[in-house]
Amino acid sequence: MTEWIISANAKMYDHSSSFEHFEFIDWRQGNTKYEVNDIVYIYATRPISSIRYKCLVEKINLKHSEIRDDKEYWKNLDEYEKSLQGNFIRLRLIEQVSNRKLNLENLKENGLSAAPQGPVKIRKELSEYLKIHFTDNNQTDYFPDTIGDKIIYEGIKKVITVNKYERSSIARDKCIEFNGLNCFVCGMNFFDVYGEIGEGFIHVHHLTPIHQIGKEYKVNYKEDLAPVCPNCHAMLHRKINGNEPTINELKEIMNKKYIA
């Protein structure tokens, strides 16, 4: 059994939705000599820059007539047409996570030479690292201060309860892939302002009030979540006349302030 890393560009193909709907993707095999039961880790390129998926090679040497048509998940139809050539492997999803320990910087410190372009065989050092850290750590530090399920924003005399839906790290990453890293309210991008230390950083705000979400609700990252900076996130959880402002309402408040 061999372990591999391959890369996935969310700007070309919606891997998250494809896995979510079918639990497998038929991937171009190229000249790589995969074998059934090999393990493949999928590295999501910018802006995620991290390993996101662990898969099992279920089938190899599939012909075009033997794979599922996944045209609806391709964002670039020219690339879709190119993807139909050659043989394919079937990658069955084992697990998907979001963990800072699996970002490019940490991977390079533990055996990966550079961001993967084509398939890369995983060496022992990196294999051991992945076995330890391929787990979802819930990314609790996306919020300034955390006590259990309650979030306390510094300078605001209010405790905000945030449940697992707003903390869902996979939904968070899918939101960022879809919307980018600019704050929906003020437009701030942390990389533009702070450089390398701010790369990839942003909060994600739940557009539907948390208390209105039932236990069985499944987050729609396109409709339910929006990237916002910490300052705007905090303001979105303050109340005006008993109600938290919407993103558009907070934009109007900012615009009136600056115009004045």
- How confident is the model over 59-96, as pLDDT tens digits? 999 999 999 999 999 988 888 988 888 999 999 999 88
Q: How would you classify the pairing of strands 39-44 and 3-8?
A: parallel
Task: Look up the CATH superfamily of 3-133.
Answer: ph1033 like domains (3.10.590.10)
Output the six-digit token pair for 10: 């969310």
Q: Are 8 and 49 in contact (CB under 8 A)?
A: no
pLDDT of residue 97: 83
- Domain ranges for the chain, please list them: 3-133, 140-259
Output the six-digit token pair for 148: 């259990």
pLDDT of residue 100: 83
Where b means 16+ CB within 10 Å and e means fewer, 163-194 reads eebbbbbbbbbbbbbbbebbbbbeebbbbeee
Greater confidence, 139 or 171? 171
Q: Which residue, among 110, 104, 95, 91, has the nearest Cα to 46 in the 3D structure?
A: 104
> Starting at the edge strand that comes first in sequence, how are the strands of the sheet with 159-161 ordered?
146-147, 150-152, 159-161
Q: Say yes or no to pLDDT of 116 above 80.
A: yes
Q: Say yes or no to pLDDT of 229 above 80.
A: yes
pLDDT digits (tens, 9 = 90+) for 172-216: 788 888 899 999 999 999 999 999 888 888 898 988 765 565 545
| Cβ partners under 8 Å of residue 235, min gap 6 | 185, 245, 250
Name the least confident of 85-99, 108-122, 164-178, 246-260.
Answer: 164-178
pLDDT digits (tens, 9 = 90+) for 22-39: 999 999 999 999 999 999
- pTM, full prediction: 0.64
Paired with 59 in beta bridges are 90
Greater confidence, 221 or 258? 221
Q: Say yes or no to pLDDT of 219 above 80.
A: no
Which residue type is seen at 161? T
Report the distance separating Cα 153 and Cα 255, nearest Å.
Answer: 23
pLDDT of residue 208: 74
pLDDT of residue 199: 84
Q: Are 146 and 162 in contact (CB under 8 A)?
A: no
